[in-house]
């Protein structure tokens, strides 16, 4: 019984250690998975701002035609980056494009979703 509890504790530790804290853009699936992991660790308001930042980067920060190409280009842009770096990049892109958006401002009322 003691071995079973150690095995359970080890698997739980292994499972929680697998969450990503930076973007893995090896492919579209790992990109989405790592972004989901990163988002789930944030408070609700920060999740919204993070999604807005990703939308701004996908829409204005990369040049590609079509959703799949835009996601691949976004993946290359943010690969290995953590949440604060992505928010800072979105701040720069928003400012360069004259978009009234800031990572430290309240969430916007519109929906910004890079996967849908």
Q: Kindly give the interhelix angle for 67-78 and 83-96, rounded to the nearest 10 degrees.
A: 120
110: alpha, beta or left, given left = phi > 0 and alpha = psi -120 to 50? beta
Domains contained in the chain, number: 1
The answer to whether residue 7 sits within a structural domain is: no
The answer to whether residue 14 sits within a structural domain is: no
The answer to whether residue 4 sits within a structural domain is: no
| Residue 88 structural domain | 20-116
**pLDDT category, 11, cuts 50, 70, 90?**
very low
Each residue's pLDDT tens digit, 58-99: 999 999 988 889 989 999 999 999 999 999 999 999 999 999
Give the pTM.
Answer: 0.78
The answer to whether residue 58 sits within a structural domain is: yes
The answer to whether residue 11 sits within a structural domain is: no
Residue 37 confidence (pLDDT): 94
**CA distance linking residue 18 with residue 102, whole number of Å:** 30
């Amino acid at each position: 019984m003691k071995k079973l509890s150690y095995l359970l504790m080890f698997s739980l530790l292994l499972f929680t250690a697998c969450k990503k804290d930076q973007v893995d853009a090896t492919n579209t699936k790992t990109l989405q998975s790592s972004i989901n992991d990163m988002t789930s660790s944030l408070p609700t308001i920060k999740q919204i701002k993070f999604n807005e930042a990703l939308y701004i980067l996908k829409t204005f920060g990369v040049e590609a035609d079509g959703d799949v190409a835009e996601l691949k280009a976004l993946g290359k842009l943010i690969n290995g980056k953590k949440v604060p770096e992505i928010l800072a990049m979105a701040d720069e892109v928003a400012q360069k494009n004259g978009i009234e958006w800031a990572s430290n401002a309240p969430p916007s009322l519109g929906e910004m979703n890079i996967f849908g």
